[in-house]
Structure 1
Amino acid sequence: MTDAIDRSDQPSAPQRRRITTSDGIELDAALIRGGAERTTAVVLANGFTGTWRNPANRMIAQRLLPVGDVLGFDFRGHRSSGGRCTVGNLEVHDLQAVCAHLREQGYARIASVGFSMGAAVVVRHAAGFGGVDAVAAVSGPGLWYYRGTRRMRLLHLGVERALGRWFLRAARKVRVIDSQWDPVPPDPTEMAADLAAPLLVVHGDADTYFPVEHAERIHAAAPGPKDLWIEPGMGHAERAMTPERAERLAQWLARRLPGGGETAPSAGSGG
């Protein structure tokens, strides 16, 4: 049973933003504000082909609003954002630009929450750039080029073959690079050792992309404070998040952020 969270503040409609990265890529973003002026923000980093417009992302944003204002954005190469997707490499610059934008807007505390590809990005960003106060990685890979599941073998075909990239562009509105990484960046497990912010790793035991060993690797590598949730029956990334799971995530963020977030849940059992 989870704690009740106060939702008395009425959220705003998404406020569209265009945010430019250090390498000149324009990102499509949307900020949802709570009913009062706040100094805490939560950034949602989507999985590959994901967008802040998806119903699952909107539900998660609503459940996290008691912690702070929520900014969702589309990674480079996704929908209305510029550039081409690098599937987790240069996307750290996208997250850095979003966090810098929030700091410029007066937010003193920032948490980053990532799903799948976005989970890899939030870990790498927090370790390499810093500047965030809490990190949650949901359904993320622990190492690059994993092909141990059918879903990941199909994903690699999609990004490595010209026909697959055409399908992604036509059907999912995602433009992917047609070259290999050079150099190959450190993977999330390697980077986790350099984390200075509290880390939550969430993974489903029914994930069809990455087995739970990926989550266990990242959690073991992180210095702490850290928490690992292996969720029974949970699938992959945003679509596997239920309102109850999103609320537990909000409770964890409220406990871990300096000052306890904007509207801390009552003391109790969650997570």
Structure 2
Amino acid sequence: MSNRPAGDVARSTVRPKGETGGGGPIRTFLRTADGIPIESVYDPGAAVYEAFADPLAASSSPSRDLAFVIAHGFTGDVDRPHVRRVAGVLRDHGAVVTFSFRGHGRSGGRSTVGDKEVLDLDAAVEWARRLGHARVVTVGFSMGGSVVLRHAALRPGTVDAVVSVSAPARWYYRGTAPMRRLHWLVTRPEGRLVGRYGLRTRIHHRDWDPVPLPPVRAVPRIAPTPLLIVHGDRDGYFPLDHPRMLAEAAGGHGELWIEAGMGHAEHAADDALVARIADWAVSAAG
């Protein structure tokens, strides 16, 4: 257990606020409130690189003070190609923080499949603030989509806009074959072995206690922070009743996009959709 606050940086090369140091990406480990080291990458975004070619244009760019924090799906990590692709699209609109949830990639700890991961996201958001970004938008996919919803509900005022893509509305859903396989992976010892050695994901063996706040109950607490819910009509994990439940819980506050032909999470979110999400976020975050 660590007494360091969320976002404390271990082995960091981060420079003080206002120093770009040439504007290149930074890779480091963040320390969560419960002491887990979280592998993280910061890319200052296209506006910083443009500053070297045209300082006047870059200084007037609305993206210079905006950072996106990407929360990947279960079994993802900071170096997965689909995570890097999403980050590459978003960096044209602002800085980008990517990280591996606990139990994933090179991060420490074990996955709690959306529960303690709120602390991982909190550390990444705080890092973006410490790097000088006045506006921070969280963008989560699948498990990460549920985490950004719960984070915004449990840490009111921490972020300026929230985007949840392909997220579940409720826990313990087993209505599709992929979700039945996921529950086997998480709940059975042999499944956790497959996760560890086949999917590079170390899963905690303990059940949730207490059960975390479900996404559908988190959503009403997010207002007045702008909220966008995105879901594909061909999502093989969570059918359309999930995003509709989330949108209904948001009332007039949240915005819902049902994407024709889209499957599940990062793999299915093409560059055009990610760019539209970025445009929404730039406008919503003010």
**Fold-level similarity (TM above 0.5):** yes
The residue aligned with 1:80 is 106
> What residue ranges of structure 1 are gaps of 5+ in the alignment?
1-10, 259-271
Alpha-carbon contact 2:67-2:128 (below 8 Å) kept = yes
Alpha-carbon contact 1:44-1:70 (below 8 Å) kept = yes
Compute the displacement of 1:98 (Å): 0.9
Kindly provide the amino acid, as one letter, of the partner of residue 222 in structure 2.
L
Task: Describe how 1:1-271 pairs up with structure 2 within 5 A.
Answer: 14-37=25-48, 38-130=64-156, 131-196=158-223, 197-258=225-286
Moved more, 58-67 or 244-253: 58-67
Alpha-carbon contact 2:78-2:105 (below 8 Å) kept = no
Alpha-carbon contact 2:47-2:92 (below 8 Å) kept = no
Q: Structure 2: how far apart are the matches of 1:12 and 1:178?
A: 41
Alpha-carbon contact 1:27-1:81 (below 8 Å) kept = yes
The residue aligned with 2:13 is none
Alpha-carbon contact 1:195-1:223 (below 8 Å) kept = no
Identity %: 46
SS of equivalent to 2:152: helix
Compute the displacement of 1:36 (Å): 3.9
Output one character per residue of 1:204-233: Cα deviation in whole Å (capped at 9) or x when no partner.
010000001111111111155321011111
SS of equivalent to 1:193: helix
The TM-score normalised by the length of structure 2 is 0.84
Q: Classify 1:236/1:35 alpha carbon distance in 2 versus 1 (closer, same or farther; 3 Å).
A: closer
Query: RCO higher in 1 or 2 (8 Å CA, sep ≥ 6)?
Result: 1
SS of equivalent to 2:221: coil
SS of equivalent to 2:70: strand
> What residue ranges of structure 2 are gaps of 5+ in the alignment?
1-21, 49-63
Q: Structure 2: how far apart are the matches of 1:177 and 1:255?
A: 39
Q: Structure 2: how far apart are the matches of 1:207 and 1:158?
A: 20
Compute the displacement of 1:119 (Å): 0.2
The TM-score normalised by the length of structure 1 is 0.88
Compute the displacement of 1:60 (Å): 1.2
Alpha-carbon contact 1:199-1:224 (below 8 Å) kept = no
Q: Structure 2: how far apart are the matches of 1:12 and 1:243?
A: 24
Compute the displacement of 1:35 (Å): 4.1
Note the aligned Cα RMSD (angstroms): 1.4
Kindly provide the amino acid, as one letter, of the partner of residue 185 in structure 2.
G
Kindly provide the amino acid, as one letter, of the partner of residue 285 in structure 2.
L
Compute the displacement of 1:247 (Å): 1.0
Compute the displacement of 1:67 (Å): 2.5
